[in-house]
Amino acid sequence: MGGDRKAALTVVIPTYNERVNIDALFGEFARLKKAWPIPFDILIVDDGSPDGTREAAYNLGQRYGLDVRVHVRPGSRGLGTAIVAGLNLCDTFLVCAMDADLSHPPILIPTLFERLNGFDGTVASRYAVGGRIADWSLHRRIISRVATRIAKSALDIRCADPLSGYFLFRTASFRGIKITGLGNKPLLEILGRQGLGVFEVPYEFRNRAAGESKLTMRAILEYILLVLRLHWTQRGPLGPSKETIETAVAVTRNS
Distance CA 115, CA 119 (A): 8
pLDDT score at 28:
98
H helices within 49-103, ranges in order? 53-64, 79-89
Give residue 3's pLDDT band: very low, low, confident or very high (50, 70, 90): very low
Mean pLDDT value across residues 152-177: 93
Q: pLDDT tens, 182-203?
A: 889 999 999 987 678 999 999 9
- What CATH number matches the domain at 9-137+160-209, 3.40.190.10, 3.40.980.10, 3.90.550.10, 3.40.50.2300? 3.90.550.10
The pTM for the full model equals: 0.86
* Antiparallel, parallel or unpaired: β 167-170 and 204-205: unpaired
Distance CA 132, CA 152 (A): 19
Q: pLDDT tens, 13-72?
A: 999 999 999 999 999 999 999 999 999 999 999 999 999 999 999 999 999 999 999 999
Q: Where are the domains of the chain?
A: 9-137+160-209
User: Is 154 within 8 Å of 235 (Cβ atoms)?
Assistant: no
Instruction: Give the other-Cβ count within 10 Å of 24's Cβ.
Output: 12
